Chain A
Amino acid sequence: MIYSLNNHLSKIETSLNDVPIDVTSNWNSPVEKCDYYYFLDNNSEFWTIGFLKVEDAHCAIDFKSTLNQGVKAIRLFVSVINYYENVYAIPNDKGAHIWSSLQYTNKSLYLTLAWRMNAGNYCHKSYKYLFLNHFFKLTTKSGILKLKRKVYYTGALPNTLHLDTF
């Protein structure tokens, strides 16, 4: 599903054809597997985020904001996160500032060996993880390699954290 957000932060279902290319160029996963949200302001600056369904949770992906208005961007962020019960993300350093400042729970991440026959690829712009997803998975329990990034979440985490969702 694709949703456009208006100034009142209510969501309106829309189609891919209605979304500007500047926005969709930031979407790295197939839209049929995700809920994507976007907001456009009068100066064609935008804000967007996606949610990939993983088991009973939703993984926040592809967050991007060109809005100068920080308060507006964070207000949009909070309002969209609140649509979901179990949400998690493995943000980069900048994104981690937002999750951390909103006091979402965080845990360290470890890479661990795990053979999975049906491992998928969730990032359609990068296929390097198609191979890795078969042999490795991310876990919050101690594993072979501790990552610099942390997982931030609200609610419950799924059993499997995919490598190509951050």
Chain B
Amino acid sequence: MQLIREFQKVFNRDISSLDEIDSIELVILVNTLNAKFLKSVDMFEVIDCANLEEINDLFFK
């Protein structure tokens, strides 16, 4: 999943589920991906997501 690859690049750590991301990592990741991919996904959309796949879709679909 592209989101996990981008997470690994930013934080140099492997994750397999949403539960492994803390709140600061999440906001840094969202801001980083918005800047990198010229997106405007806001945190309110992200906090409605239940799993990594849903967050992945916000950025990469």
Contacts and interface: CB of A to CB of B under 8 A. Distances in A.
A98 B44 CA distance: 11
Interface in B1-27: 18-27
B22 A70 contact: yes
A30 B23 CA distance: 27
Given A71-B47, A75-B47, A97 B21 contact: no
A69 B27 contact: no
A78 B21 CA distance: 18
A125 interface: no
Contacts of A14: none
A65 B22 CA distance: 9
Contacts of B49: 71
A68 interface: yes
Interface residues of B, number: 19
Nearest to B52: A71
Interface string A85-123: 000000000100110111100000000000000000000
B31 interface: yes
A54 interface: no
A70 B26 contact: yes
Contact of B42 (A67, A97, A103): A103
A68 B26 CA distance: 10
B22 A97 contact: no
Interface of B: 18-28, 30-31, 42-44, 46-47, 49
Given A70-B24, A74-B26, A74-B46, 9 more contacts: A65-B23, A67-B23, A68-B21, A70-B26, A73-B23, A98-B24, A101-B27, A101-B43, A102-B42
